[in-house]
Amino acid sequence: MTDCASRSWGNNGCDGGFSINAYNYIYSKSICTDYYYPFNGRENSCKFTSANDTSFGNLFTVTKILQSKPGDDAALMELLDKYGPVVVSIDSSSWIFENYHKGIFASPKMSSSVCDPDNLGKF
């Protein structure tokens, strides 16, 4: 994804991007597993040329892209229940991420109940 769904797809390679742009790439082009195209920790030129190239093994594609409203937990849970795994993105450009390193992120603007480990998985 870093190499192929990069600048021409509206993303910035190792400098970040948007999951919807990456999924639009998969929808249009297909994708292989990391076994055939492993991430090596840096941005390179895209080696994937065609869905007909058998050196990349079995290819996978996205057949439907759905998006829920930001902050609508009920809609997100419905998509998860109906379609399976979902991608959740977070805008980390805010100053509140400046000192974040790992673990559960708690913003001063978030409800304390959201960050309570006893509530994880209950939303």
Question: Could you tell me the CATH number of the domain that includes residue 34?
Answer: 3.90.70.10
In a domain? residue 109:
no
Cα–Cα distance measured from residue 48 to residue 79, given in angstroms and rounded to the nearest whole number: 30
Cα–Cα distance measured from residue 6 to residue 8, given in angstroms and rounded to the nearest whole number: 6
Domain residues for 71?
Answer: 1-89
In a domain? residue 81:
yes
In a domain? residue 122:
no
pTM for this prediction: 0.61
- Tens place of pLDDT per residue across the chain (123 aa): 888 888 888 888 878 888 888 888 888 888 888 888 888 888 888 888 776 767 777 788 888 888 888 788 888 889 889 988 888 777 777 777 777 778 877 766 655 444 444 544 433
Q: How many domains does the chain have?
A: 1
In a domain? residue 68:
yes
Please, are residues 5 and 26 in contact by the beta-carbon 8 Å criterion? yes
Q: What does the pLDDT read at residue 108?
A: 63
In a domain? residue 115:
no
Q: What does the pLDDT read at residue 119?
A: 45
Q: What does the pLDDT read at residue 115?
A: 44
In a domain? residue 117:
no
In a domain? residue 112:
no
Cα–Cα distance measured from residue 22 to residue 4, given in angstroms and rounded to the nearest whole number: 9
In a domain? residue 121:
no
